[in-house]
Structure 1
C-alpha cells in the first residue's frame, strides 16, 4: 500500500461514491482533470456540471472532453462557483473543489473565502445522503492561508449529526502540501 497524495486520494473517495447516472459538480474546472474523471464515473446517463471563472479553463476542458467523447454528459459554465445555485437544481452525489489558482495561469486570479464558502454550502444543500463534497485546498499563495482557515473553520462547525468532516494532509512535507477536506452527508 502507498499513502496517496491529496489529489489522488480525492479520486479514490469519489470513485467509491459516484455511480453511473449520478449528477455531480466540478466547482473549479481548471484543466479538466476532475471533470473528465467524474464524466467517466457518471457514464452516459449521468451529468457533470462544471464551473470556472476563467474562460481559458472552460475552453481547455471543453476541448479535452470533446477529444475523449465525454462532452455529451457535461455542462460547462464560465462563471464563478458561487453561482452554482443558479445552474443546478438536481440532487448531486458529489462535488469537488480545487482551491487556489489555475496552474500556468495568472496567479492573481484565486478562489476567495466568501465565494468558496457560499459554493460549498450550495453543494451541501444539493447533496444526497451519503454523498461527498471534497475540497482540495492549495494555500501556498497570497490569500491562500485565509481561505484555508475560513474553509476549515466552517467545516469544523458543521452539525456532526448531519455531516462527517475529514481533513487529510501530509504533515512532514515542506511548501504547504495540499489539504483534502471531505464532507459526507449523513442525514437530511
Structure 2
C-alpha cells in the first residue's frame, strides 16, 4: 500500500513527463503500444450489445444493462499503474469539475485489467484519492477479459526485472450516451476544453 501511495504522490510529475514524450499508453518496458480508445472505437463499443458481468468497489454486481439510461464514461486501468491511470483519473476529476452540476448526470467507472491485485476493497481505497463519483469494477480474469473484448480493449502482462509485473493496456476514455451508444472517445491527456464539450454532448 505504501508503494501505491508513493505512485500517487508522483503521478503529476510522471504524467507530465509522459505527456512531454508523447506517450499514449504506458509501455512498461515493451515496445508495442496498445491502441488508444479512439483507435478501436469501431462500433463494437455499444453497451446494449454487451454481456459482461463484474463487481464494483462496493461489492455489487454490475453489467452493461445497468448503465443504460444514463450517460457513462469508462476507461480501463489498474491501481499499480505508475502514470497513465492516475493521470487519467486526475483529468476525469477535472472534467467533472468543469461540468458543474451536469456532472451529476454521468456515471464514471474504471475497469481494472489487474484483477489479481485489484479487489473491490483495493479499488475503493485507491479511487478515494480522486473524485468520489468514480467507481471501480473488477472480477475474475475471465470476466475482465470478456469485458475488455466487448470494448475492443487490449492489455498484456509485462514481467519486470525484479520479478514483479506490470500491464500494458489501451488508454483513453469511452463516453456513452444514455442509450448505450458510444458518443465519443477522449484520448489520453486530451485538453479539458475539448473533453468537457464531448461529455456534455453525450449527456444530451
Q: Give the structure-2-normalised TM-score.
A: 0.27
| More relative contact order, 1 or 2 (CA 8 Å, 6+ apart) | 2
